[in-house]
Amino acid sequence: MVAKKKAAPKSAAAKKAMAERGTYKREAEAETYSRLVYAAVVPYVAADKRSASVWGDTLVEHVPPAFAVRYRELKDQLDVAMRTGEHVEAQTLAQSLIKALEVMDQKARADGHQPPVVDGYLCKHGDSVYCFLASGSMREVRQAHPSWLVYHVSDVCAVLAGKFADMMAEVANSFPDARVMKFTPTTSLEDDIDFM
């Protein structure tokens, strides 16, 4: 049996972050993180996106509950470390989360589970998993994975062509590696979207 280390007393900022965990703040009130905290978590964010591109949000469903609970605990602890600016703790937790993703992937596969099969692309953006379907039934994918935001690739093309084609062409010519990170409409979309 491994002896547990006694936890250091929590700072007031850590206690506040734990108390606010899971609450919503408007973007104007959102916290910013130091460069050191950002640097500490970038490898985990990349690993999380890689995992989501394979498993969507289903990985934790295919591992023993203890694995899933520990992963959630580590994510909560990382959130606290980030909010309190503890970059060393954030780096340690980020490394633990990367390892947890690897272990959960191995365990799920060893237990005979496989990632979801879709003819398309899975992408994590923010807290959401998007599925951009190239072929197949959107209804079946949406029913099998109700937490995913499922779109056909042609839907994405229609949105981009309708609103962004000229702007994106100009941006791509000037910045060939540019990627859209966020879009905030300046006007209401109201009835601008035509559905089939």
More confident residue, 38 or 19: 38
Q: pLDDT for 68-86, tens place per residue? A: 999 999 999 999 999 999 9
> How far apart are the C-alpha atoms of 39 and 10, rounded to whole Å?
23
Predicted pLDDT at 51:
95
Range of the domain at 76: 33-110
Q: Based on the domain organization, do 59 and 101 belong to the same domain?
A: yes
Q: How many domains does the chain have?
A: 2
Q: Is pLDDT larger for residue 114 or for residue 26?
A: 114
Q: What is the pLDDT of residue 191?
A: 44
pLDDT, one tens digit per residue, over 159-188 is 777 667 777 778 888 888 877 777 666 665
- Tell me if 188 is assigned to some domain: no
Helices (H), 84-186: 87-110, 138-144, 153-163, 165-174
Whole-structure pTM value: 0.67
Query: Residue 5: what pLDDT?
Result: 58
